[in-house]
Amino acid sequence: MVIGVGIDIIKIDKIKGSIEKWKDSFLNRVFNPEELKNISKGKMYYQRIAARFAAKEAVIKAISKEYPMALTDMFILNKENGAPYCKFKKDIGIDIFLSITHIEDYAVACAVAQEKA
């Protein structure tokens, strides 16, 4: 059974500004080391970080009524084929179906939360 849907959009420059201002302290408040090690600091770095931030916000919106949590209580990672997925620090009995995208100025994410069968 679907328990919630969340969507988030963020301007890339907002995330870039936060990283430039607070550096690692911002990144460590939002992301786990496992997430950060898989994001290369190339041309699309800020877009990828912003997309993962939007994904976390979308997940929180999808599950917030039932399971309040912090951004670092979840991981936004990629499968071998590149598809994003969400895992939690502890099992909360929910599967998340996740889609993220980004372009030059914006990152968007959509999350659907479903009870595990």
Residue from 103, 4, 6, 114 nearest 54 by CA: 6
pLDDT, one tens digit per residue, over 21-31 is: 999 999 999 99
Domain 2-115 - what CATH class?
A: alpha beta
10-residue mean pLDDT profile of the chain (117 residues): values are 96 98 96 92 95 98 89 95 96 96 97 94
State residue 65's pLDDT score: 81
Give the residue extent of every domain in the chain. 2-115
For residues 110 and 7, the answer to whether their CB atoms sit within 8 Å is: yes
- List phi, psi (to 5°) of 31: -120, 155
Q: What is the pTM of this model?
A: 0.95
Bridge partner list, 10: 107
